[in-house]
């Protein structure tokens, strides 16, 4: 008996490229997104992520390559005929219409019977948590409710893929944090494939099943959030995803995936190699703030591969995300250290001596490139 064929991904991009005159905005992107997943494209402004999304939506024509939805090419299919809908950063809701009229707009354009439109709109309102608000004007609802209306307006059309172009960018911080959770719940509920673009790493890390980190028109790394955070493959990913201390150094010795690196005269760090390195190579060294241990007693850190004495520069209180900045006595660099939740270091003050230690396993070295 033949094994059942795997279903086609909801979306595929094959060697997708977009050039504007001599500028390459998107270069040779290959992508396959399985159905029902939350996929984020994360990168800085100008990296090509919006251009990629607009090609998928049909608003831009690729220079080369192909786009497939459910296994079928859509290159010759106009935007309004693709099984794709898009939520824009500024939502593009119609202020003169009610909430229900906004959600039902696409259904009316499809010329569905009035009773079917009313039923589908009511169902959509209930599923996005806005039952009974259909008669409200857009000006009468909150920013978070507007986000849900914009999403409901797309999802009521049953798209195979929903594209979201930085939809939380205009919200204040507290509402944005709330909507991260709500968006993930909606995606789980509808089981629609979401493709979400953002420059905000926290949005991507919280919501996504898979993240593609984009830089200069290319994908640097694609994988689950934990993989990108703990096992970055490039210096760009290590610097862009999460916070890191970053230093440069010169390799003194390399053996079995471990490097001894001189950061400054007499200052050596032991770390793990991200690739092939030889003595004399310049490398970028990355250490996460939460990977560094604080101690008032340097002797307590003697078992750690990397140790440094320094003095406190400042304490940056931010609840569970509080940090302390320490100036390394050997290098003069300011080192960002996550403050333990035990409370034992909450009394640190500028100028106080402190010792730092961290393991070689939490120290990643990449071939040196330009500063991010």
- For the chain, give every domain's residue range: 11-239, 243-367
185-189, 249-253, 304-308: lowest mean pLDDT where?
Answer: 185-189
Q: What is the pLDDT of residue 246?
A: 94
The span from the CA of 127 to the CA of 124, in Å, is 5
Beta carbons within 8 Å of 244's beta carbon, 6+ residues apart: 238, 286, 287, 288, 289
β-bridge mates for residue 247, sequence order: 285
Percent of the chain past pLDDT 90, that is, above it, reads 67
Q: What is the pLDDT of residue 1?
A: 46
pLDDT in tens, 119-144: 999 998 988 888 989 999 998 998 88
Q: What is the pLDDT of residue 4?
A: 57
Top-confidence range, 6-10, 22-26, 254-258: 22-26
Section 57-83 average pLDDT: 94
pLDDT in tens, 197-226: 999 999 999 999 999 999 999 999 999 999
Q: Which two tokens stand for residue 85?
A: 């809908």
Of the pLDDT bands very low, low, confident and very high (cuts 50, 70, 90), residue 6 is: low
Task: Kindly report each contact of residues 300-306 with a partner whose C-beta sits within 8 Å and lies 24 or more positions away, as own/partner.
Answer: 300/355, 301/355, 301/356, 301/357, 304/357, 304/358, 304/359, 305/270, 305/358, 305/359, 305/360, 305/363, 306/269, 306/270, 306/271, 306/357, 306/358, 306/359, 306/360, 306/363
b/e for 290-327, b at 16 or more Cβ within 10 A?
Answer: bbbbbbeeeeebeebbbbbebebeebeeeeeebbbbbb
C-beta separation of 324 from 355 below 8 A: no
Section 228-248 average pLDDT: 93
Average pLDDT in the chain:
91
Q: Is 341 exposed, middle or buried (0-12, 13-18, 19+ CB in 10 A)?
A: exposed
Section 354-362 average pLDDT: 95
Domain formed by 243-367, architecture = Beta Barrel (2.40)
Top-confidence range, 46-50, 109-113, 187-191: 46-50
Of the pLDDT bands very low, low, confident and very high (cuts 50, 70, 90), residue 332 is: confident
Q: Which residue has the higher pLDDT, 320 or 354?
A: 354
Q: What is the pLDDT of residue 276?
A: 84
Section 265-290 average pLDDT: 91
How many residues does the structure list for the chain? Answer: 372
C-beta separation of 356 from 298 below 8 A: no
C-beta separation of 125 from 186 below 8 A: no
* 11-239: CATH topology: Rossmann fold (3.40.50)
pLDDT in tens, 91-105: 788 889 999 999 999
Q: What is the pLDDT of residue 89?
A: 77
**Domains 11-239 and 243-367 fall in the same CATH topology:** no
């Amino acid at each position: 008996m033949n094994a059942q064929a795997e279903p086609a991904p909801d979306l595929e991009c094959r060697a997708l490229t977009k050039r504007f005159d001599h500028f390459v905005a998107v270069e040779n992107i290959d992508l396959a997104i399985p159905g029902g997943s939350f996929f984020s494209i994360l990168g800085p402004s100008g990296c090509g992520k919006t251009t990629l999304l607009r090609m998928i939506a049909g608003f831009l024509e690729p220079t080369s390559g192909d786009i497939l939805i459910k296994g079928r090419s859509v290159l010759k299919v106009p935007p309004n005929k693709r099984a794709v809908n898009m939520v824009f950063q500024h939502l593009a809701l119609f202020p003169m219409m009610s909430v229900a009229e906004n959600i039902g707009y696409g259904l009316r354009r499809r010329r569905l019977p009035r009773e079917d439109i009313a039923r589908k709109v009511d169902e959509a309102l209930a599923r996005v948590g806005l039952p009974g608000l259909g008669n409200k004007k857009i000006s009468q609802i909150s920013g978070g409710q507007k986000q849900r209306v914009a999403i409901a307006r797309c999802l009521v059309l049953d798209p195979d893929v929903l594209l979201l172009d930085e939809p939380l960018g205009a919200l204040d911080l507290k509402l944005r944090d709330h909507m991260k959770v709500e968006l993930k719940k909606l995606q789980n509920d509808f089981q629609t494939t979401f493709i979400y673009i953002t420059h905000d790493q926290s949005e991507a890390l919280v919501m996504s099943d898979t993240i593609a980190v984009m830089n200069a028109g290319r994908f640097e790394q694609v994988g689950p959030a934990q993989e990108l955070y703990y096992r970055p493959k490039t210096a760009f990913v290590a610097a862009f995803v999460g916070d890191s201390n970053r230093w440069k150094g010169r390799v003194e010795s390399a053996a079995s995936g471990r490097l001894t690196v001189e950061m400054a005269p007499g200052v050596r760090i032991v770390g793990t190699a991200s690739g092939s390195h030889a003595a004399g190579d310049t490398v970028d060294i990355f250490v996460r703030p939460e990977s560094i241990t604080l101690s008032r007693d340097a002797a307590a850190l003697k078992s750690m591969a990397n140790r440094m004495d320094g003095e406190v520069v400042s304490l940056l209180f931010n609840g569970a995300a509080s940090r302390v900045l320490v100036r390394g006595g050997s290098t003069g660099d300011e080192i960002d250290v996550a403050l333990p939740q035990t409370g034992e270091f909450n009394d640190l003050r500028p100028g106080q001596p402190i010792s730092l230690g961290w393991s070689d396993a939490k120290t990643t070295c990449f071939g040196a490139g330009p500063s991010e």
